[in-house]
Amino acid sequence: MKPVPAMITPGNIFSIREFNQPLFSSEFHFHEECQLAYIIKGSGKRIIGDSIDHFDENELVFIGSNIPHLWYNTENKAAENKSLHSISLSLFISPKQLLEHLTAFGNIHKIEQLFEKAQRGMFISGKSKIRIISLLKKATHQHGIRHIITLLQIIDLLSNTEEYKLLASSTYTNLFQWRDNERMNNVYDYLIKHFKQDISLKEVAEIASMNPHAFCRFFKSRTQKTLTQFINEIRIGHACKLLNNKNQSITQIAYKCGFNNVSNFNRFFKIVKNQSPRTYRKELELG
């Protein structure tokens, strides 16, 4: 995992970028700017801090400054077909510059609180998501003062919405170092591709070129999770996607996600999601 160059040109506060490519970047990274990410097309696994989950199109997430993250496509048929490309629209914000400029206009406490909440990643939902996405699309075609007004409207909505959930845990801290980049990306790539299979500590340690004991300490210090916790959270994130399909039983889903028995699946699902798979499915049906 590594820091990436500035996403905003010097002297600017905002920048909007569209990404249209076969796959989103699979490198776990972070940057100084906050990022409002709207996933237009694509699906796979999302990691923000120590939060691991499935992502799908029409997702809207606001990420704070220097929070490690990645959207990893688990299925790729886009290389030959551009209509299957993954597409996202992102607004990058310089929190320091924005706060400095807005201080002259009055109380900025709510915006400061917004950037604090964003340090855990905010998954935006409901009417707020619909309104923010509409403004984000609008801003891509604007210039001058209208462009600035629209972007400030987005900040205002983010600052006042109650339609969100925080993703990373309250104790999460970014402890990554640039020299870990290749090693951690190789481990993440392997785990995300093979989570449906039995994965041993020994084989993952070998990928990291470490002995098992050293790898356990290394992995826990960087992710704030054990290897088993990390793998199970990838599996549970995938299960949440499959639970949308009413034609698959919970037993079938458990085995498809890499669990050896339904009892373990139910237990880990409740640990991660604070509810049973059956209750989760019922809530999906209720909308």
**Which of 116, 142, 166 represents a domain boundary (last residue)?**
166
Range with the poorest average pLDDT among 74-78, 81-85, 108-112, 209-213: 74-78
CB 252 within 8 A of CB 212: no
Strands (E), 26-110: 29-30, 34-41, 44-48, 51-55, 59-63, 69-73, 86-93
Within this chain, do residues 137 and 205 fall inside the same structural domain, yes or no?
no
- Name the average pLDDT for the chain: 89
Within this chain, do residues 14 and 151 fall inside the same structural domain, yes or no?
yes
Looking at residue 82, its pLDDT comes to 58
Within this chain, do residues 201 and 253 fall inside the same structural domain, yes or no?
yes
Within this chain, do residues 223 and 140 fall inside the same structural domain, yes or no?
no
Tell whether 246 is covered by a domain: yes
Within this chain, do residues 13 and 76 fall inside the same structural domain, yes or no?
yes
Tell whether 191 is covered by a domain: yes
Secondary structure class of 199 (helix, strand, coil):
coil
pTM of the model: 0.81
Domain CATH code at residue 101: 2.60.120.10
Residue 119, number of CB atoms within 10 A of its CB: 20
Within this chain, do residues 116 and 41 fall inside the same structural domain, yes or no?
yes
Owner of token pair 């004991």: 213
Tell whether 174 is covered by a domain: no
Q: For residue 21, what are the domain limits?
A: 2-166
Measured distance CA(55)–CA(271) in Å, rounded: 20
Within this chain, do residues 13 and 143 fall inside the same structural domain, yes or no?
yes
Within this chain, do residues 143 and 227 fall inside the same structural domain, yes or no?
no
Q: Is the pLDDT of residue 25 over 80?
A: no
